[in-house]
Amino acid sequence: MGCGSSVATETQVRRPETMKAAVLIQRWYRRYMARLEMRRRYTWNIFQSIEYAGEQEQLQLSTFFTYMLDNFTQLNGNGPLISQLLDPVVDPWLDRETCFNLISVPESYSGPRISFPLSVSDTNALLSAFKEHQTLHARYVLQLLYETKKLLKQMPNIVHLSTSYTKDITIDLHGRLDDLLLIFYKNGLPSAETPYVFNGDFVDRGKKSVEVVVLLFAYVLLYPDYMHLNRGNHEDHIMNLYGFTKEVMQKYRTHGREILQLFQEVFSLLPIATVIDGKVLIVHGGISDQTDLEFLSSIERNKIVDILWSDPKTQEGCSPNTFRGGGCYFGPDVTRRLLLQHGLQLLIRSHECKQEGYELCHDGRVITIFSASNYYEDGSNRGAYIKLGRELVPRFYQYQVSRTTRRLTLTQVRAAEGSALRALKEKLFAHRSELIAGFQQNEQNNTSVSVSEWAQVLESVLRLDLPWRTLRPHLARLAADGSVEYLSCFEDMGPGLPLPQVTPNLAKTLFRYRTNIEIIFNIIDKDHSLISIEEFRHTWRLFSAHLGADIDDGAIDDLARSIDFNKDGSIDFTEFLEAFRVVHKLDVKE
């Protein structure tokens, strides 16, 4: 037998085998990728829906505060105590030029010491201190805010910049110090050669919002002509009550209240738009069919919802942004009209997290830029920034703060999917009573409903606009007859702590509105002073009237008693509310 003939036979035998193997792997791989893509997508949908639903609740909360202001005085004979607390009127103490001088910095303080007017060595000191996780002393924070306030008061609503001397850079930032440091590292520190425009949402995400915003303000003070900030929808009293307030109060136990109040003032003074060379408009959210730049430059800089909240859409026209509960969706025609009217060529906005960190729409006339990488979850998205040169052609730079920069793998998708589903299940549990009531209306036989009914009830109660049928296998079990055993969607979840004795109605409200209730009582209890039992009752009465929740006075009295108003009248309501935080049962065991 010759060697040659043997090889020939072997190739003939082998080839179909190789082809079969290749087909097998190709099909497996394509299927694997398709499923991966599907999972990645709905994970994204869940995160986004939940984020927007939270923002929407906070907007509704501001309606409640207005309502509370209108009604509280009548109910409370003792005069306008609550309205005083809610009123953004400044504490006279804060207006005194020298207020920060009254605070001394102890010898033992090891953090950065800065002096005004700021110099490069001060901003460098801040940078390296924040890298080392140090906190800036309250005295310096107050002085920095005070100086920033003075400066911002001089600024117009719309800042006009020119590229004739230099190149420009645009960024959105969502309170992520890591991203900011990375951008500074890659792109250079702010300076005359490297000017920046930061497009809103500096706070309220991540645990380093104070540091981010202190750094940004420090650079604004250092280079007022080369460092520009636009206001975002999170630079708002109501929006940043939750995360940012908590962060400031934790970092500055003694002067937290003053710092917060000054922050709020400074935020309301932030310019709302930047225009480069009269051609490129930069705003945080977007525009609406009502937007007019002349008008914008003349109004007072608050309650400018459209500019801060709007999102572009592909259809023509302008419609209310129901998904977010604020601002609008603007179509390509709205963009075209505004650009034409003002002789602009491009709109740059942020406000929406994008997979790649940026996205173009409306025939390239609108750019969304989002700088917080891994916004929803490790590996969820890249961040990006834009560089804009004299020719005004945007160049995009992407990055991701992460251990690995490889494409999403199954493990990563699985982790993100897990936490998205967990967040969703918490939502389900928080709305348990309403959902069960809905299911019971459709009940076929014992505790099961058809898949359609199940999906319908979820959407009508939660309004998250999610593909419920696709998510069903991850949320609820099917019975043998193919119907959904609806109780199974609450199975893994439960309250974080043993539940205090409260009426079922009250428990339902507490689960459902825990975050809101915490915010409301945080405001009333702004300086951690005492809430009287009367105030507590009144606030509850207003809140339940506002919600249309059926909670009688007896239940509220029981509640007050159960949180144990002790003799000096102080309550730890926040701790009490912790019991109504829904958690995954696996987490409780830890």
Partner 1 sequence: RAQEEAAAGTEAELKIRSAFEVFDHDSNNTVDVRETGAIISSLGCFPTQADLHAFIAELEEDQSGHVHLDKFLPVMTKRLHIYYFFSFAPASLKSLNLGLQVLDKEKKGHLEPDELTKYMTQEGEPFTQEEMEEMLTALVDPKKNCVHYKELIKN
Instruction: Give the nearest distance from C-beta 273 to partner 1 in angstroms.
Output: 25
Instruction: Give the nearest distance from C-beta 162 to partner 1 in angstroms.
Output: 35
Residues that bind partner 1 in the complex, under the rule CB under 8 A: 17-31, 33-35, 37-38, 41-42, 45, 313-315, 406-407, 409-411, 451-452, 455, 465, 467-470
Q: How many CB atoms lie within 10 A of CB 11?
A: 10
Residue 445 token pair: 């036989």
Q: Give the nearer residue to partner 1 in terms of CB position, either 18 or 66.
A: 18
3-state secondary structure (DSSP) of residue 576? helix
Tell me the pairing of strands 280-283 and 346-349.
Answer: parallel
Instruction: Give the nearest distance from C-beta 345 to partner 1 in angstroms.
Output: 24
Q: Which residues of 361-375 are buried (b: 16+ CB within 10 A; e: fewer)?
A: ebeebbbbbbbbbbb
Q: Give the nearer residue to partner 1 in terms of CB position, either 133 or 403.
A: 403
Instruction: Give the nearest distance from C-beta 480 to partner 1 in angstroms.
Output: 17
- The one catalytic residue in 174, 234, 255, 351 is 234
Instruction: Give the nearest distance from C-beta 452 to partner 1 in angstroms.
Output: 6
Angle at 196 between CA 192 and CA 200, to 5 degrees: 155
Tell me the pairing of strands 394-399 and 448-449.
Answer: unpaired
As a whole number of angstroms, the distance between CA 402 and CA 89 comes to: 43
Q: What's the alpha-carbon Rg for the chain, to the nearest Å? A: 27
As a whole number of angstroms, the distance between CA 139 and CA 72 comes to: 35
As a whole number of angstroms, the distance between CA 65 and CA 336 comes to: 38
Q: Give the nearer residue to partner 1 in terms of CB position, either 141 or 287.
A: 287
Q: Give the nearer residue to partner 1 in terms of CB position, either 407 or 567.
A: 407
Q: Give the nearer residue to partner 1 in terms of CB position, either 119 or 404.
A: 404
Instruction: Give the nearest distance from C-beta 28 to partner 1 in angstroms.
Output: 5
Instruction: Give the nearest distance from C-beta 53 to partner 1 in angstroms.
Output: 15
Q: Is 160 a catalytic residue?
A: no
Instruction: Give the nearest distance from C-beta 424 to partner 1 in angstroms.
Output: 14
As a whole number of angstroms, the distance between CA 139 and CA 134 comes to: 15
Q: In what order do the strands lie in the sheet with 227-230?
A: 227-230, 196-199, 168-171, 383-388, 394-399
Instruction: Compute CA distances 515 → 85, 135, 520, whole Å.
Output: 19, 27, 9
Q: Give the nearer residue to partner 1 in terms of CB position, either 436 or 451.
A: 451
Cis amide linkage into residue 498, ω under 30° from 0: no
Q: Give the nearer residue to partner 1 in terms of CB position, either 72 or 330.
A: 330
As a whole number of angstroms, the distance between CA 11 and CA 463 comes to: 61
Residues in the chain: 590
First to last CA, the chain: 71
Q: Give the nearer residue to partner 1 in terms of CB position, either 159 or 366.
A: 366
| Residues ≥6 apart with Cβ < 8 Å to 521 | 531, 539, 573, 574
Q: Which residue has the tokens 């607390």?
A: 85
Q: Which residue has the tokens 């300076």?
A: 191
User: Which residues are catalytic, by number?
Assistant: 234
